[in-house]
A and B are shown apart, each in its own frame.
Chain A
Amino acid sequence: MNSLKNTLIIAALELRRAFTTRRGMTVIIAFVLIWGLLLRYGVVGAAQWLTGGGNVIGSMFNSSTIRALLNWEVAEFAVLWVLSLYLFPMFCLILAADQTASDRARGTLRLLTLHATRGSVFIGRFTGLYLIQLLLLALVVIATVVLVLIRDASLSTTATETAAMVFVNLALLIAAYTAAMALINVFASSARQATTWAIILWIVIGLIIFWVGRYVQQAELLRWILPGAHIKFLLQQNSWQSLQIAFVPLLQTIGLLGTGYIAMRMRDL
């Protein structure tokens, strides 16, 4: 009970860090500005184009993906969907980069673990940073609904339902990425190092699985351990049917958090 309470207290301080400190606000403002531009000039522009039946995106993705996008009832969400599936994981590498790393280097983690268990600190930090990303994701999704309504108010019901579907799928996706960053943070000594290691690990593990998969076909299955492995599947989806593969990010999150939790408890501070 006390551990759960401490986990929530630690998570709450992360929210406070993001929304009340200068450093946190700088990151939030940068995020809002980037998404403001993407929504205004990317989503709105491309949505107008999609509703006109264009196929520019076809040059970027395979035809089945294009067909899936053209099947979306709300064009803005089709564009948001493609952008978010790639951009939110990338933002996650930055937003969730500093969970325990710099505190370990500074010695603050030594102070914190005098008052709370390592498990509470690890899960609390993950929870806090995940909640921050959920709030930002909600902001982006709500902004997209507003853009849809500005274009065509009659789409309000469809837009709201689509927004919920997009939110839930992206929330699951970034949970796995945030958990991966939590695990990497146990070994990294700074946020920058955590982000660098994450990029290197993703590329190296992906390449290893690819090469091994050429000789041992079953090794291809290993790609499912990497967060984002189901993005290709999600690109083809435009309804709640996307959740039929929700177990993948869920299991990834549980596995990565479990590994990180054990590593956090075992590692010297």
Chain B
Amino acid sequence: MSMIIECTALSKHYGRTIALRDINLQLKAGAPIALVGPNGAGKTTLLSLLCGYIRPGSGDVTVMGQRAGSQNAIRHISALPQDASLDPNFSIGIQLRHYARLRNVSNATAEVRRVLRLVQLEDQINAKATQLSHGMRKRVLLAQSLIGNPTLVLLDEPTAGIDPPNVKIIREMIARQATDATFVVSSHNLDELEKICGTVVHLAAGELRGVNAIDDVNNEGVLTVVLSADSIMEDHAIDQIDGIKTARLRTPTELVIEYDHQHYPDTDIAVLSWLSQHGLRYRRISKGRSLEEQVFN
């Protein structure tokens, strides 16, 4: 599988502030990639470098083997930049057609209808951006990022500040389109990322803390149980089940259980029955650690 993103000794400073420090990163095309980290971690800076909006202080960054920001790179990538807005003077149809023509799409009008259909906004083609809600504007920008079937789509906080129905539409759209393009999604919403992404790139304080597959081997022998809010239990109460090594309440309602998956492969069933016997209700049980647990613990 080809490398879609390569960063070599990549650093970026803003005055005396270090935004990114010595990042070495290779990412392959495939399932969506989550870019996570706290505020100020360098997520937006990394995406801006990949888009060619800013230049590296030192090091190299390539997209599909082309220098980021070059004409050859632009051909392959698209993005939903954070805090970018459409021109309020033109309808979204005119602007998206404009972008499609710039991308040399043969039938720009049909392409605009296609991408707007993907985000369920085809009926808004003649509206101006100022006439749409925040969530709808995000979806239009997402549609913009899909014009011309780019190979790599970079999404910076696509669900920030928008309501659950719009989040759902965006998430489903990314999941559907992930077969045609590689998505890199930066977000603080780890639950959303966990549902759609296969790889996690973790940044903190401008440094790369790790690149992990969500379903990697470290998740074997781990169960995460999310309890109902009214179900209260103690950490060690569940230790009595055979095969369980440790059980830890990460939050009052999230229990992380490590068990011997080789000798006790049915521990998940045993846990469910133990919860039932003790009158504890649960909302979700999943194999492996939550993304939040993997990234921040």
Q: Which residues of A contact B54 (CB under 8 A)?
A: 268-269
Q: Is the CB of A111 within 8 A of B53?
A: no
B77 interfacial contact with A, CB 8 Å = yes
Q: Is the CB of B104 within 8 A of A2?
A: yes
- Given contacts A9-B102, A268-B54, A115 and B85 within 8 Å (CB-CB): no
Q: Is the CB of A115 within 8 A of B74?
A: yes
Residue-wise, chain A 104-123 has the 8 Å CB interface mask toward B (1 for contact) of 00111011111111001000
Q: Is the CB of A269 within 8 A of B53?
A: yes
State the total of A-B contacts with C-beta under 8 angstroms.
Answer: 75
Q: Is the CB of B85 within 8 A of A107?
A: yes
Q: Is the CB of A113 within 8 A of B87?
A: no
B101 interfacial contact with A, CB 8 Å = yes
Question: How far, in whole Å, are A5 and B87 apart by their CA atoms in the complex?
Answer: 21
Residue-wise, chain A 97-139 has the 8 Å CB interface mask toward B (1 for contact) of 0000001001110111111110010000000000000000000
Q: How far is the CB of A105 from chain B (nearest CB, A)?
A: 10
B199 interfacial contact with A, CB 8 Å = no
A230 interfacial contact with B, CB 8 Å = no
Residue among B55, B98, B102 with the highest chain A CB neighbour number at 10 A = B102
A160 interfacial contact with B, CB 8 Å = no
Sampled A-B contacts (7; CB under 8 Å) = A13-B90, A24-B89, A106-B85, A110-B81, A111-B84, A111-B86, A115-B102
Residue-wise, chain A 8-27 has the 8 Å CB interface mask toward B (1 for contact) of 01100100110001111000
Residue of B nearest to A2 (CB): B104
B79 interfacial contact with A, CB 8 Å = yes
Question: How far, in whole Å, are A13 and B102 apart by their CA atoms in the complex?
Answer: 11
Q: Is the CB of A113 within 8 A of B52?
A: yes
The size bracket of the interface on A is 20 to 34
Residue of B nearest to A5 (CB): B104
Q: Is the CB of A108 within 8 A of B90?
A: no
Q: How far is the CB of A109 from chain B (nearest CB, A)?
A: 9
Kindly list 9 other residue pairs between chains A and B, CB separation below 8 angstroms, not including A110-B84, A112-B99, A269-B48. A3-B71, A5-B104, A9-B102, A17-B89, A113-B51, A114-B81, A115-B74, A115-B103, A268-B54
Residue-wise, chain B 128-172 has the 8 Å CB interface mask toward A (1 for contact) of 000000000000010011011000000000000000000000000
A6 interfacial contact with B, CB 8 Å = yes
Q: Is the CB of A114 within 8 A of B98?
A: no
Q: Is the CB of A268 within 8 A of B71?
A: no
Give A243-269 interface residues, CB cut-off 8 Å to B: 266, 268-269
Q: Is the CB of B90 within 8 A of A17?
A: yes
Neighbour of B89 across the interface among A2, A23, A114, A115, CB < 8 A: A23
Q: Is the CB of B53 within 8 A of A110?
A: yes
Q: Which 9 A-B pairs have the closest CB atoms?
A: A107-B84, A115-B102, A269-B53, A110-B81, A268-B54, A116-B102, A115-B99, A21-B89, A110-B84
Q: Which residues of B contact A116 (CB under 8 A)?
A: 74, 102
Q: Which residues of A contact B98 (CB under 8 A)?
A: 9, 13
B83 interfacial contact with A, CB 8 Å = yes
Give B73-122 interface residues, CB cut-off 8 Å to A: 74, 77-79, 81, 83-87, 89-90, 94, 98-99, 101-104
Q: Which residues of A contact B84 (CB under 8 A)?
A: 106-108, 110-111
Q: Is the CB of A107 within 8 A of B147?
A: no
**Number of chain B residues whose Cβ lies closer than 8 Å to a Cβ of chain A:** 31
Q: Is the CB of A111 within 8 A of B74?
A: no
Q: How far is the CB of A59 from chain B (nearest CB, A)?
A: 45
Q: Is the CB of B51 within 8 A of A110?
A: yes
Q: Is the CB of A117 within 8 A of B71?
A: yes
Q: How far is the CB of B65 from chain A (nearest CB, A)?
A: 18
Q: Is the CB of B71 within 8 A of A113?
A: no
Q: Is the CB of A115 within 8 A of B87?
A: no
Q: How far is the CB of A18 from chain B (nearest CB, A)?
A: 10
Question: How far, in whole Å, are A111 and B137 apart by their CA atoms in the complex?
Answer: 13
Q: Which residues of A contact B141 (CB under 8 A)?
A: 111
Question: How far, in whole Å, are A103 and B145 apart by their CA atoms in the complex?
Answer: 18
Neighbour of A117 across the interface among B48, B55, B74, CB < 8 A: B74
Neighbour of B79 across the interface among A6, A13, A114, A117, CB < 8 A: A114
Q: How far is the CB of B186 from chain A (nearest CB, A)?
A: 15
Q: Which residues of A contact B89 (CB under 8 A)?
A: 17, 21-24
Question: How far, in whole Å, are A9 and B52 apart by their CA atoms in the complex?
Answer: 22
Q: How far is the CB of B132 from chain A (nearest CB, A)?
A: 15
Q: Is the CB of A114 within 8 A of B90?
A: no
Q: Is the CB of A113 within 8 A of B83?
A: no
Q: Is the CB of A111 within 8 A of B81?
A: yes
Residue of A nearest to B104 (CB): A2
Residue of B nearest to A22 (CB): B89
Q: Which residues of A contact B103 (CB under 8 A)?
A: 115
Q: How far is the CB of A17 from chain B (nearest CB, A)?
A: 6
Q: Which residues of B contact A113 (CB under 8 A)?
A: 51-53, 74
Q: How far is the CB of B101 from chain A (nearest CB, A)?
A: 5
Q: Which residues of A contact B148 (CB under 8 A)?
A: 115
Question: How far, in whole Å, are A108 and B51 apart by their CA atoms in the complex?
Answer: 14
Q: Is the CB of A114 within 8 A of B85?
A: no
Q: Is the CB of B83 within 8 A of A107?
A: yes
- Given contacts A116-B102, A268-B54, A108 and B71 within 8 Å (CB-CB): no
Residue of A nearest to B148 (CB): A115
Question: How far, in whole Å, are A115 and B145 apart by their CA atoms in the complex?
Answer: 10
